[in-house]
Amino acid sequence: QLQASGGGLVQAGGSLRLSCAASGFSLDYYTIGWFRQAPGKEREGVSFISSRGSSENYADSVKGRFTISRDNAKNTVYLQMNSLKPDDTAVYYCAAPAERSCIPHVWADVDEYHYWGQGTQVTVSS
């Protein structure tokens, strides 16, 4: 099971760090994606990190502001979000593919992921 945490209410320009923790299994060898869903919109890919952290991807809308990282020893993946904008307001989810070592063909495709956390709300006020 994945659990996302760290969301909250922040003013524009502020920062938050989201965490994605796993319980019941090890995140080792799993690629992890962060997604978000705003009201009335489809879930969209925000960022992706490979199992060893050697490869990262970001949506154009967050490049230069968000940083994904992982600490496999702590069984946790992080999303550092800086310079937050009101458009970043959404529920943020972390997700993993069904199989260890599976690399999504399209990292931002929600159908490539099997395990999903419950989501954490991020609200950015203007």
Q: Look at residues 81, 63, 68 and name the one whose alpha carbon lies nearest to residue 33.
A: 68
Q: How confident is the model over 16-48, as pLDDT tens digits?
A: 999 999 888 888 889 999 999 999 999 999 999
Q: Is 52 left (phi over 0), alpha (psi -120 to 50) or beta?
A: alpha
Report whether pLDDT(124) > 90. Answer: yes
Residue 25: what pLDDT? 82
Residue 38: what pLDDT? 97
DSSP label of 101: T
Q: How confident is the model over 44-96, as pLDDT tens digits?
A: 999 999 998 899 999 999 999 999 999 989 999 999 999 999 999 999 999 99
Q: Look at residues 34, 40, 83 and name the one whose alpha carbon lies nearest to residue 59.
A: 34
Q: Look at residues 83, 112, 82, 81 and name the one whose alpha carbon lies nearest to residue 96.
A: 112
Q: Quick check: 1 and 22 in contact, CB under 8 A? A: yes
Q: Look at residues 72, 83, 91, 87 and name the one whose alpha carbon lies nearest to residue 25.
A: 72
Q: How far is CA 87 from the centre of its chain?
A: 16
Q: How far, in Å, are 28, 35, 59, 87 from residue 124 at the CA level? A: 32, 16, 18, 8
Residue 39: φ, ψ to 5°:
-55, 130
